[in-house]
């Protein structure tokens, strides 16, 4: 299994990507992330559905109702195996709120489009399930990747993933991870960052763990969360960013919050200028009508 994953990873590294669009040219690469992170992804839950994938797997009753639903909708569920159909069900059914994970191909395209030079330092202010790390460290530009992730178990897994990534290609990069929330100031990063990019938590839309380090648990009211999490995070990023450097964020509004406008107001007030707003079109659930925006800010 590991050697097959290494082949996929090396293939991704060798592939030249067309950075003028965000289409996903290499779908195999998600197998790598699934291998390292799927159990943690399955434990997390989004407000898109009632149960997490893990809730379904651990309950005989829920699992059999999922399997019989798949059986009755064979025209829709046409994957090669039951397991693959179940994975599809987790993504598409309104019964299950599977959390999304940013696509590593799109992440790498974003980095190569916005910092197309050797040795740039990238800051990921919410690592999540490894997709931006994989994208950054699979580029010929030999980026340095710095990330923060407060969820302990996920942080430990990211360390294992980082060492696997560097071992499979024996790349030289000054990458490191911090087991911290992005609102905590890290003096070592001041003036070091060429580009920051993440897909941060959308307040309480997705729940990953019950730990008090999670931003929406620490600040349970939206406006309090904006003040203490988003403002402090963007202020830190501003200070970490080199003059002329970029701050990127992938956001989505939900039924209840207008995070895109709020993030823009905060970033402008802190001193960034808004350079561009792009749309990222990916496969979406039928229950979710919102659209992802990539905001691009600059420190002038
Ligand atoms: C990457 S974000 C959102 C994932 C998004 N659904 C996507 O498409 O990529 C998820 C991560 O934010 C992390 N997180 C929670 N509180 C945080 C904080 N205070 N600072 C930084 N990251 C945090 C969670 O632990 C989780 O791993």
pLDDT per residue as tens digits for the range 88-109: 899 889 899 999 899 999 999 9
Per cent of the chain over pLDDT 70 is: 96
SS (H, E, C) 213-247: CCHHHHCCCHHHHHHHHHHHHHHHHHHHEEEEEEE
Q: pTM here?
A: 0.94
The arithmetic mean of pLDDT across residues 163-192, rounded, is 92
Residue 169 has pLDDT above 80, yes or no: no
Determine the residue of 198, 201, 249 to mutate for testing ligand 1's pocket, defined as the one with the most ligand atoms within 8 A of the Cβ atom.
Answer: 201
At residue 168, the pLDDT reads: 85
Q: What is the β-pairing status of strands 193-198 and 121-124?
A: parallel
Phi (first) and psi of residue 259, to 5 degrees: -65, -30
At residue 80, the pLDDT reads: 80
**Nearest CA, atom 22, ligand 1:** 126
- Ligand 1 site, residue 204, Cβ cutoff 6 A: no
At residue 291, the pLDDT reads: 78
In this predicted model, what pLDDT tens digit does every residue of 7-39 receive, in sequence order? 999 999 999 999 999 988 878 899 999 999 999
Centroid of ligand 1 to alpha carbon of 126 (angstroms): 5
The arithmetic mean of pLDDT across residues 250-261, rounded, is 92
At residue 248, the pLDDT reads: 98
At residue 283, the pLDDT reads: 63
At residue 284, the pLDDT reads: 58
Identify whether the C-beta of residue 133 lies closer than 8 Å to the C-beta of residue 145. Answer: yes
SS (H, E, C) the chain: CHHHHHHHHHHHHHCCCCCCCCCCCCHHHHHHHHHHHHHHHHHCEECCCCECHHHHHHCHHHHHHHHHHHHHCCCCCCCCCHHHHHHHHHHHCCCECCCCCCCHHHHHHHHHHHCCCCCCEEEECCCCCCHHHHHHCCCCCCCEEEEECCCHHHHHHHHHHHHHHHHHHCCCCCCEEECCCCCCCCHHHCCCEEEEEECCCCCCCEECCCCCCCHHHHCCCHHHHHHHHHHHHHHHHHHHEEEEEEEEEEECCCCCCCHHHHHHHHHHHHCCEEEEEEEECCCCCCCCCCCEEEEEEECC
**CA dist., res. 237 & res. 252, Å (int):** 20
In this predicted model, what pLDDT tens digit does every residue of 226-255 receive, in sequence order? 999 999 999 999 999 999 999 999 999 988
Residue 130 has pLDDT above 80, yes or no: yes
Centroid of ligand 1 to alpha carbon of 151 (angstroms): 9
At residue 40, the pLDDT reads: 97
Residue 188 has pLDDT above 90, yes or no: yes
In this predicted model, what pLDDT tens digit does every residue of 269-291 receive, in sequence order? 999 999 999 998 776 555 555 67
Residue 4 has pLDDT above 70, yes or no: yes
At residue 81, the pLDDT reads: 87
At residue 288, the pLDDT reads: 57
Centroid of ligand 1 to alpha carbon of 73 (angstroms): 34
At residue 229, the pLDDT reads: 97
The arithmetic mean of pLDDT across residues 188-212, rounded, is 95
Centroid of ligand 1 to alpha carbon of 79 (angstroms): 30
Phi-psi region at 130: left, alpha or beta (left = phi > 0; alpha = psi -120 to 50):
left
Domains of the chain: 2-15+25-92 (no CATH), 104-298 (3.40.50.150)
At residue 36, the pLDDT reads: 97
Q: Which of 177, 184, 293, 276 is nearest to 235 (CA)?
A: 184
Q: Indicate the burial class of 222 (C-beta count within 10 angstroms; 0-12, 13-18, 19 or more).
A: middle
Helix axes 30-43, 152-169, angle to 10 degrees: 170
């Amino acid at each position: 299994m590991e050697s097959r994953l290494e082949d996929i990873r090396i293939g991704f590294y060798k592939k030249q990507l067309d950075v003028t669009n965000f289409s996903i040219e290499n779908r195999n690469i998600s197998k790598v992330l699934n291998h390292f992170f799927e159990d943690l992804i399955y434990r997390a839950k989004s407000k898109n559905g009632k149960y997490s994938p893990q809730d379904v797997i651990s309950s005989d009753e829920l699992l059999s109702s999922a399997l019989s639903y798949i059986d009755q909708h064979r025209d829709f569920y046409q994957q090669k195996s039951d397991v693959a159909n179940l994975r599809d069900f987790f993504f598409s059914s309104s019964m299950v709120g599977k959390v999304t994970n940013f696509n590593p191909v799109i992440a790498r395209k974003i980095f190569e489009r916005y910092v197309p030079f050797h040795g740039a330092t990238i800051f990921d202010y919410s690592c999540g399930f490894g997709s931006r790390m994989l994208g950054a460290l699979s580029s010929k530009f030999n980026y340095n990747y710095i990330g923060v992730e407060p969820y302990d178990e996920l942080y430990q897994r990211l360390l294992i993933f980082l060492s696997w990534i560097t071992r499979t290609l024996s790349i030289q990069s000054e990458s490191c991870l911090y087991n911290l929330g992005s609102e905590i100031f890290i003096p070592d990063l001041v003036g070091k960052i060429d580009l920051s990019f993440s897909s941060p938590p959308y307040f309480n839309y997705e729940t990953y763990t019950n730990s008090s380090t999670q931003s929406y648990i620490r600040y349970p009211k939206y406006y309090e969360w904006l003040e203490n999490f988003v403002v402090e995070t963007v202020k830190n990023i501003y200070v970490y960013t080199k003059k002329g450097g970029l701050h990127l964020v992938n956001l989505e509004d939900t039924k209840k919050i207008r995070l895109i406008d709020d993030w823009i107001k905060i970033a402008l007030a802190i001193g960034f200028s808004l350079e561009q707003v792009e749309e990222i079109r990916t496969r979406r659930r039928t229950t979710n009508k919102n659209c992802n925006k990539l905001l691009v800010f600059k420190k002038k």
